[in-house]
Structure 1
């Protein structure tokens, strides 16, 4: 596989101060969108630029714990969210969900969702070991995707659609799907909330009245929700922490981030986030 020179090794990110950013790499990546950690490896999707165009310039990179970076998959269109189940790495790619064998990088799963009318499938998160949620940002919808030999999908129908539905994460203990939106028509009117999957008539319940260009989302061990907000299309992005009991919202980064997209948490609780507008991947310990 093609090797890429890593300017700042991954392991050099140890002992990061609260809120202090550490650049993990600065390579030839154009627009890193999602980071996913599996074992000692970091997988990073790169849309190549246009998030909706079928142009074959998308990649998934693989970065190991020693800082070596290689191309895991090339020739994609615009891969975004990443998640692994049964040693298959899944990613939404424009209007398809694709899966790649983690050992070989070979494509082993494809589900065409173009009939929905979307050209911007975005985030992905598991409900269980055979079902995932996938957001479609351009049509403000969320889908339930059933994997396996005979894959299929269905829309998750609920009241109060999330404008620009983007980040999704499922809390099995509460049977809640947390969703955040990027907004619509270039306006930061995205919202943060959840859908209770228990009742037959489902509703989107707001967690905060604050709106923004919301992208990534994650649950923490502290009964809080982390959500990234681009704020503007320049270096102004923040990552918010929302207390699920009180609704209190705080910003956990000191330095602004240029395009904080689909971030993740490492085993130490540090935030690892793409800085999509600069082609970087950053790591920092959130302030509490």
Structure 2
């Protein structure tokens, strides 16, 4: 991948105007994939390049509100999605789930999932404070991972497998797991939908006919989903809002993004997204 440095002012305000992209990091990273906000800090996973290779060049960064970056943990292979539970930052890393204590950056958790056959464990999202969902993009599956002293995992079996299952987020109120797919065979035929966990015979239900290279996913307070779509492997990425009732989709960013991967939302509702192909983390406010 080419590295492109954006000349965008650093964030100074608490919120941004609609579509106004602001770069948060002072120095570029190699391939930032996921962002998680904890207090006033941002934790950023960097795959180092190849998302499936065990090469030891993966990094977890910690970035403060001024955009200063430090290494939180190094020596990973290709960390992707991030989530904090009980002061531990969990991340899928090729075929393992790893956890790092926030206080010292020390690895305190490992779950080997190589037996699944996946080398592209990707996103992670909690069902509760001891159970998480993890997507396996290369085998089109989602797993339920039980954390703790004796961790284990099981497949979340459902009809209509999600092509390139990527972003996952759980809606406890509706007991739905929302999933989006990156597509299969290099084609932007990924879908957006959900699995109703209350049903005995579980199915993936599409929310919209719109397809794409879908990556990150988040629930909003407006009863909608936000989903990132790379569109192409160049600066054309978008974030779309999906109405959960009608399936209508609306693009919420004005400027295209180079590889919008696993984004998160700030308390103000701003989108904090990696621009993975240019090594930056950006912030903008979706229109409501």
With the length of structure 1 as denominator, give the TM-score of the two structures: 0.96
Q: Counterpart of 2:3?
A: none
Q: Which residues in structure 2 correspond to 1:135-154 (within 5 Å)?
A: 135-154=135-154
Q: Provide the residue aligned with 1:268 in structure 2.
A: 268
Partner of 2:88: 88
User: RMSD of aligned C-alpha atoms?
Assistant: 1.3
Deviation of residue 15 (structure 1)? 5.0
2:257 is the counterpart of 1:257: yes
User: What is the deviation of 1:67?
Assistant: 2.7
Q: Secondary structure at the match of 2:12?
A: helix
CA drift at 1:8: 7.4
Whole-Å separation in 1 of the counterparts to 2:87 and 2:108: 11
Matched with 1:101 is: 101
The alpha carbon displacement at 1:245 in A equals: 1.6
Q: In structure 1, what is the equivalent of residue 133 of structure 2?
A: 133
Deviates more, 1:27-36 or 1:153-162: 27-36
Aligned to 2:175: 175
**Deviation (angstroms), 1:28:** 4.1
Q: Partner residue of 1:123?
A: 123
Equivalences for 1:225-244 in 2 at 5 Å? 225-244=225-244
Which structure 1 residue ranges, 5 or more long, are not aligned?
1-6
**Count of residues paired in the alignment:** 282
User: Which residue of the partner structure matches residue 25 of structure 2?
Assistant: 25
Query: 2:90 & 2:179 partners in 1: Cα distance?
Result: 19
1:208 maps onto 2:208 in alignment = yes
1:238 and 1:254 map into 2 onto residues whose CA distance is: 8
Structure 1 residues 3-42: Cα deviation after superposition (integer angstroms, max 9, x where no partner): xxxx978642545220111111252411000000011110
What's the CA shift for 1:66? Answer: 3.1
Question: Which TM-score applies when normalising by structure 2?
Answer: 0.96
In structure 2, distance between residues paired with 1:118 and 1:189? 20
Q: Which residue number corresponds to residue 159 of structure 2?
A: 159
Map Cα deviations across residues 219-276 of structure 1 (whole Å, 9 max, x no partner). 0000000000000000000000011122111000000001000000011111000000
Tell me, in whole angstroms, the C-alpha distance in 1 between the residues paired with 2:154 and 2:261: 26
